[in-house]
């Protein structure tokens, strides 16, 4: 079976018809063929959210080999903020592809890596002197941020939070909170990782940010000790853990404590970064200035790139040759990042994320008023979610969540679930989606709730 007979009209970018269109059941016959081959060829541990064979994507849709056009409310897990096959990205990467594909920046440098570092230094919170280093995946960048913080502080312990997600490599699995499917059986994990309670307004009895931070800090002091602690790492809004927005003041209190105790504050903005929340970085909503910011996902329009950006004194403390990797800051990924950053700016996508957020929250809150199974509606910008519960007890309802997601998928809307309890439906559309498609997609989710 060939999957590449995509007509020019669905080759991505603006040419792709922006509509939900079901011409077969999902999965259709060609998608089923791919799923059968997949089962024979791909390791069973690699999951599938929607069993389709993608042939094109752009704007706010994903098109499969059977001709179905699916509304994309997931952006490949918060990656394609600028849209899939964004024309600026396609053009920049194509030009780079024709010039050179790889030299290894640490062997023979090139302009685009430096330009991405300059952009990151300028765009991340704080006007202090900064440096950046580029890597491939979010997990790899998190590993490097911790490595740099340990080297700088000459301390070893690291604190991560309840509901945290930081990746699937050994150290980042250890930093990640949720056991199944991320950790179970895959240990032992790296030592000197401590966990602290998170501000989770829907489930912590509504503690204020200051109260939740005082509790977390007390636990950190008792169980790790500032004198042993190299870094605190936290997502400004917990992503995989359930789109948890901490109470106002929680993050600033942690930053303040870190400053007073020579602990490096690392913001993991892998999922929240690059316009997703209606600001370049989610840290801005709380006015915090992290020592180090980890970015990936939305940085490069779908090409693999990640970064650690932060205080020059911390970043420059690693010995020459101490940071690197064969592909980190690959020229194609850097070209994509520069084009993506231009698109966020020139195409007004950050404002667009704010508008998408207003629309999402308004519609989701309206749904909640009519449906007590929606326990909470939360998020910022184009990163919003509903938490589904048993209305009597408030207990998480993962079964309902799976049913609603399955209904959406069968009806041509790709939504993702998340949460420690598997009971959160999250909305992460590309910032290039139209209001019409977004509203239609939400309508299908609402229909799924009614049907369940
Ligand atoms: N930090 C905050 O959200 C990746 C992972 C999905 P990588 N989140 C999606 C999955 O099932 O693997 C993520 C994140 C935060 C780090 C990471 C890790 O980024 O690029 O997947 O390594």
Ligand 1 atom with the shortest distance to the CA of 235:
2
Pocket of ligand 1 (CB under 6 A): 77, 137-139, 142, 165-168, 235, 239-240, 268, 270-271, 296
For a substitution probing ligand 1, which of 47, 297, 426 has the most ligand atoms within 8 Å of its CB?
A: 297
**102 touches 330 (CB < 8 A):** yes
- Packing angle of the helix pair 87-99, 331-346 (nearest 10 deg): 150
Query: Using one digit for the tens of pLDDT, what is the confidence trace for 357-376?
Result: 999 999 999 999 999 999 99
Query: Using one digit for the tens of pLDDT, what is the confidence trace for 103-138?
Result: 999 999 999 999 999 999 999 999 999 999 999 999
Q: What is the mean pLDDT of residues 76-82?
A: 98
Q: What is the mean pLDDT of residues 33-55?
A: 98
Query: Using one digit for the tens of pLDDT, what is the confidence trace for 374-391?
Result: 999 999 999 999 999 999
Cα 450 to averaged position of ligand 1 atoms, centre (Å):
31
Domains of the chain: 2-86+348-451 (3.90.1150.10), 90-346 (3.40.640.10)
**Contacts of residue 200, Cβ cutoff 8 Å, sequence gap at least 6:** 162, 163, 244, 246
Band of pLDDT at residue 15, cut at 50, 70 and 90? confident
Ligand 1 atom with the shortest distance to the CA of 272:
2
In the chain, pLDDT over 70 holds for what percent of residues? Answer: 97
Distance separating alpha carbons of residues 280 and 354, to the nearest angstrom: 11
For a substitution probing ligand 1, which of 47, 80, 165, 419 has the most ligand atoms within 8 Å of its CB?
A: 165
Cα 357 to averaged position of ligand 1 atoms, centre (Å):
22
């Amino acid at each position: 079976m060939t999957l590449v007979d995509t007509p020019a009209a669905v080759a991505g970018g603006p040419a792709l018809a922006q509509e939900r269109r079901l011409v077969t059941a999902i999965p259709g016959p060609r998608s089923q063929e791919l799923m059968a081959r997949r089962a024979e060829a791909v390791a069973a541990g690699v999951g599938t959210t929607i069993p389709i064979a993608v042939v094109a994507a752009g704007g706010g849709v994903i098109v499969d080999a059977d001709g179905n056009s699916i509304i994309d409310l997931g952006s490949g897990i918060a990656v394609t903020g600028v849209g899939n096959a964004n024309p600026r990205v396609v053009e920049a990467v194509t030009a780079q592809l024709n010039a050179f594909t790889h030299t290894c920046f640490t062997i023979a440098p090139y302009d685009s890596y430096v330009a991405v570092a300059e952009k990151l230094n300028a765009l991340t919170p704080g006007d202090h002197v900064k440096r950046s280093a580029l890597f491939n995946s979010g997990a790899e960048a998190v590993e490097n941020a911790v490595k740099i913080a340990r080297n700088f502080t000459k301390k070893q312990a690291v604190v991560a939070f309840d509901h945290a997600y930081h990746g699937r490599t050994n150290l980042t699995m250890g930093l990640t909170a949720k056991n199944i499917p991320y950790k179970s059986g895959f240990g032992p994990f790296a030592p000197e990782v401590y966990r602290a309670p998170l501000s989770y307004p829907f489930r912590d009895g509504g503690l204020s940010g200051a109260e939740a931070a005082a509790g977390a800090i007390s636990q950190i002091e008792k169980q790790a000790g500032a004198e042993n602690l190299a870094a605190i790492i936290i997502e400004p809004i917990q992503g995989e853990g359930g789109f948890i927005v901490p109470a106002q003041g929680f993050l600033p209190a942690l930053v303040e404590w870190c400053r007073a105790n020579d602990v490096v504050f690392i913001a993991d903005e892998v999922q929240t970064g690059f316009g997703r929340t209606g600001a370049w970085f989610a840290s801005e909503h709380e006015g915090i200035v992290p020592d180090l910011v980890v970015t990936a996902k939305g940085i490069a329009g779908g090409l693999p790139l990640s970064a650690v950006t932060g205080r020059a004194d911390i970043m420059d403390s690693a010995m020459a040759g101490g940071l690197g990797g064969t592909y980190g800051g690959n020229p194609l990924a850097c070209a994509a990042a520069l084009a993506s950053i231009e698109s966020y700016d020139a195409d007004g996508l950050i404002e667009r994320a704010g508008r998408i957020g207003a629309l999402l929250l308004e519609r989701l809150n309206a749904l909640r008023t009519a449906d007590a199974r929606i326990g909470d509606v939360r998020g910022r910008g184009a990163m919003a979610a509903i938490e589904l519960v048993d209305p009597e007890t408030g207990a998480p309802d993962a079964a309902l969540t799976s049913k609603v997601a399955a209904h959406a998928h069968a009806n041509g809307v790709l939504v993702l679930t998340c949460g420690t309890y598997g009971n959160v439906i999250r909305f992460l559309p590309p910032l290039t989606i139209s209001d019409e498609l977004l509203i239609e997609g939400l309508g299908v989710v609402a229909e799924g709730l009614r049907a369940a």
